[in-house]
Homo-oligomer: A and B are copies of this chain.
Amino acid sequence: MSKQRKITLSESEIPTHWYNIVADMPNKPLPPLHPGTQQPIGPEALAPLFPMELIKQEVTTDKWVEIPDEVRDLYSIWRPTPLFRAYELEKALGTKSKIYYKYEGVSPAGSHKPNTAIPQAYYNAKEGVKKISTETGAGQWGSSLAFACKLFGIECEVFMVKVSYEGKPYRKLMMNTWGATVHPSPTTLTQAGRIVLEKDPNSPGSLGIAISEAVEVAATNDDTKYALGSVLNHVLMHQTIIGLEAKKQLEKAGDYPDIVIAPFGGGSNFAGITFPFLQDKLVEGKNVRAVAVEPTSCPKLTRGVFRYDFGDTVGMTPLLPMYTLGHNFVPSPIHAGGLRYHGAGAIISQLLKDGIIEADAINQIECFEAGVLFARTEGIIPAPEANHGIAEVIRQAKQADEEGVSKTILFNLCGHGHFDMSSYDQYLSGKLVDFEVTQEQINSSLAELNTPVIA
């Protein structure tokens, strides 16, 4: 066998530091604002929600942040993750380009989310926190945090978007297996939930509502903190372990990507694989493209505006500078639940604003078509979120072929689709539909915003 499909690293090659892209950004992200006063807030304002060490990481401009030994040790439960050359997919596409994918689905929860769940649980445990509350949409984040909390003996309470709770019972059971308590959100347990239920007793819930509930539980209980699975700076930084490993692996393969691709929900998956390569672009002027792929039904990067907005629906979180569709925007019920979020994180938004990264939007039928081709060639059945990355890879490879060039394309296969088989059923039986977002919908959602605009 001359060709090598899988490029592995040993445990000793697990990176020792996370990469903080803020250090290398030409324009730093704008500060968060207080939801009430709309004035910039300092780290202390976040103290009710997060342990101090994570708040420090949220605001640090240090380029490298050391990964604690205990976290590296627990990372080794599934890390380093493999990097694959997608020979069978390349063959099926008949492309001249080389396609690599980093596979994060080997983690206990089946996605990249434990990369930040483990350190978040670690820092909370170190500061004596007894319980962590969080929200989850598709369930990837909730199950990752459930597992991480179990390792550190912390109680875990998850507010799961009701429509997912009912539609994805196995994800909920996964959290239960790891010992977490899971509620279908909106609940009557919180003020935020009760407000929503009063307006709409049959509310199917949303990520924004679930965040409001989880934040409220943390803010009103002394021994409880809150954890978020994406968007925030420290979360994105934890995920850079993905790209740092991928760089080492590509180096072993004697390769470097022309294009790095990842699906885009809140930004953690995308940041994880691209930031370590963007470092080369920002520092050495390396010619590498980073493409974020969002669903056309939730097009904040390609059709949203750059302004301050809330991270949640009720308006309890600090205001963040973001590309947003407005925090009241309700995305259509596509199967990639992890991509149904109205905004993007502060770092990503600044990078997009500055033209350092690119974005594309793809319909879900094209994504599932790509996912099934991937399953039938590479063997892994991808999560619906991951299918967005694959569809973009195929677009880029076809374009390169049309131009008569060969590109080296890297993408993050962020998770497997074992808990999403009913979505595949919809696709295979021809029942899957695409959703159009009209400009009126976006305009009307944005018109409701009374948050600060950015000059």
Contact = CB atoms under 8 A, between A and B. Distances in A.
Contacts of A177: 372, 375-376, 381, 421, 424, 428
A447 interface: no
A69 interface: yes
Contacts of A360: none
Nearest to A12: B1
A174 interface: yes
A77 B374 CA distance: 13
Given A106-B106, A380-B108, A77 B5 contact: yes
Contacts of A11: 1, 4-6
A439 interface: no
Interface residues of A, number: 47
A183 to B, nearest CB: 16
Interface in A1-46: 1, 3-6, 8, 10-12, 14
A416 B416 CA distance: 13
A418 interface: yes
A222 interface: no
A378 interface: yes
Nearest to A176: B428
A179 B77 CA distance: 33
Interface string A364-398: 00000000100110111100000000000000000
Interface string A216-231: 0000000000000000
Interface of A: 1, 3-6, 8, 10-12, 14, 69, 72-73, 76-78, 88, 106-108, 110, 147, 150-151, 169-170, 173-174, 176-179, 372, 375-376, 378-381, 416, 418-419, 421-422, 424-425, 428
Given A1-B73, A5-B11, A150-B376, 10 more contacts: A1-B12, A147-B379, A173-B425, A173-B428, A174-B381, A176-B428, A177-B375, A177-B424, A179-B376, A418-B418
